[in-house]
Structures are given as C-alpha cells and as structure tokens.
Amino acid sequence: MSNFDFKKKGAKVLVLSCIDPRFIDKLTNYLNNYKGVQNDYDLFNLAGAELGVLEKKPWRETFLEHIDIALKLHKIKKIFVFSHIDCGMYKVTYDMKEDDNHLLHKVNLDKVIENLKKLHPKLKYKRFLMIEKGIINLDGKVPKKLKADYDKMMGK
Ligand SMILES: [Zn+2]
C-alpha cells in the first residue's frame, strides 16, 4: 500500500464479496483502481456473498450489524456487492455440479439490494459479477474484453 494513511477516518464504500481466494487479488486490484474508491472501502466477506446473506439468517444478521457499524464509524455512502461465477456456495445451496447459471447471480444480487434499499434507502448500491477474465459492473458499461463472455452468459 503506497498511500497508506493511518490517520484517515471513515470509508466511502462497504464491499461484500465471497471468501473464495481465487478472486481476492482481482477484487483488490479492481477496487484500488476504481475511480473515487481506491483504498477507501470496508471489506466484508461471506461464503457466496449475496447468497450467504439470502440463505443464512445468522450471516445476514451479522452483515446487517456491520452495515450499521460501518455507517456509524465510517459514514459509508455506498454498498458494493461482488458475486462470482463458479461459486462453491452456489453449488452447495442449489445442489448443482456447475455454477453456470449466471442469471441466478443477477437475480440474487437484485434480491439482496432490493432488501437493503428498504433498510437503508439513502445508500447507493452497485452490483458486480466476477468472471475468470475480469470484473463486470452490472450497473455500468461492460468492458470490451468481457463483452463476448458476458453476452454468452446472459444468453444473448
Ligand atoms: Zn464463492
């Protein structure tokens, strides 16, 4: 961390993502280059990210408590939720050999954010899908190098 500032208070964003180690470097790199975010985020990890929140009541309660803490201590303004393909939590929850139904990720992201909006209407929300080749902002433009993969997984 070249611009580590120990005295800095607060964070702009609370990030929810999966515990999967394959995506940690990708996510860190992506967020450090994300305009207006850089190192300025709280990180919360649950197996399956959005699916963990939907499926497991104690996890959901812990996540919601952390949102309250992040609001109180860090005055966060946004919540970013990162889903990823080939997720073990999806395979276990839906009893699937392959986690290749990418629309399911989108549906679950929408569900979680819809519920969060009811609790925290003033916060802004963004949904992301992490695939092998990179990260797609589902509320933004799909990067050119990921467009073909994205269209294919969304059945276009
Ligand atoms: Zn996962």
21 C-alpha vs ligand 1 centroid, how far in Å? 9
What's residue 82's pLDDT? 98
7 C-alpha vs ligand 1 centroid, how far in Å? 33
What's residue 117's pLDDT? 98
Digits of tens for pLDDT over the chain (156 positions)? 456 678 888 889 999 999 999 999 999 999 999 998 988 999 999 999 999 999 999 999 999 999 999 999 999 999 999 999 999 999 999 999 999 888 999 999 999 999 999 999 999 999 999 999 999 999 988 889 988 888 887 776
DSSP string, 31-70: HHTSTTTTT-EEEEE-TTTHHHHHH-HHHHHHHHHHHHHI
What's residue 5's pLDDT? 76
17 C-alpha vs ligand 1 centroid, how far in Å? 8
96 C-alpha vs ligand 1 centroid, how far in Å? 14
134 C-alpha vs ligand 1 centroid, how far in Å? 15
74 C-alpha vs ligand 1 centroid, how far in Å? 27
- Collapse the DSSP code of 111 into the 3-class scheme (helix H, G, I; strand E, B; otherwise coil) and give the result: helix
Q: What are the extents of the domains in the chain? A: 13-153
8 C-alpha vs ligand 1 centroid, how far in Å? 31
What's residue 7's pLDDT? 81
Q: Strand order in 41-45's β-sheet?
A: 41-45, 13-17, 78-84, 124-131, 134-137
- Collapse the DSSP code of 103 into the 3-class scheme (helix H, G, I; strand E, B; otherwise coil) and give the result: helix
67 C-alpha vs ligand 1 centroid, how far in Å? 21
What is the assigned CATH class of domain 13-153? Answer: alpha beta
81 C-alpha vs ligand 1 centroid, how far in Å? 12
